[in-house]
Amino acid sequence: MVPSMLPLEGIRVIEAAQMIAGPLAGMVLAEQGAEVIKVEVPDGVGDRMRMLGTRRGDVSALFHGVNRGKRSIALDTKTDEGLAALRKLCATADVFLQNFRPGAAERMGIGESALRAENPDLIYVSVSGFGPTGPRADEKVYDYVIQAMTGMAALQTDLDGAPTLTRQFVVDKVTALTAAQAITAALFQRERGGGGQHLRLAMLDVALWFFWPDGHMDRTLLGDDISHAPHFSARYDVKATSDGHVALIAMGNRSWPSLCAAFCPDWLDDPRFASMEDRERNADALSLEFAYTIAKLSTAECLERMRANDVPGAAVTSLDAVPDDPQIMHNGSLVVHENGPAGRLREALPPVAFGGAERSVAGPAPHLGEHTDDVLASLGFSDGDIAAMRANGVLGPATK
C-alpha 46/C-alpha 393 separation (Å) is: 14
C-alpha 377/C-alpha 168 separation (Å) is: 40
C-alpha 27/C-alpha 237 separation (Å) is: 33
Q: Which residues make Cβ contacts (< 8 Å) with residue 101, sequence separation at least 6?
A: 128, 129, 137, 138, 140
Residue 334: phi and psi, rounded to 5, are -115, 150
Contact 206, 200 (CB under 8 A): no
For residue 370, CA distances in Å to 43, 89, 314, 373 come to 14, 16, 44, 8
Options 160, 172, 237, 243, the catalytic residue:
172
Q: How many CA atoms lie within 13 A of 118 on its CB side?
A: 16
- Count, residues in the chain: 400
CA 319 to mean position of chain CA atoms = 19
Amino acid at 369: G
DSSP lists the bridge partners of residue 128 as 202
Q: Which pairs with CB-CB distance under 8 Å and at least 24 residues apart come from 343-352?
A: 343/56, 343/59, 345/61, 345/64, 347/64, 347/65, 347/68, 350/31, 350/32, 352/32
- To the query of whether residue 172 is one of the catalytic residues in this protein, the response is yes
Sort residue 332 into left (φ over 0), alpha (ψ -120 to 50) or beta: left
- Could you list the active site residues? 172
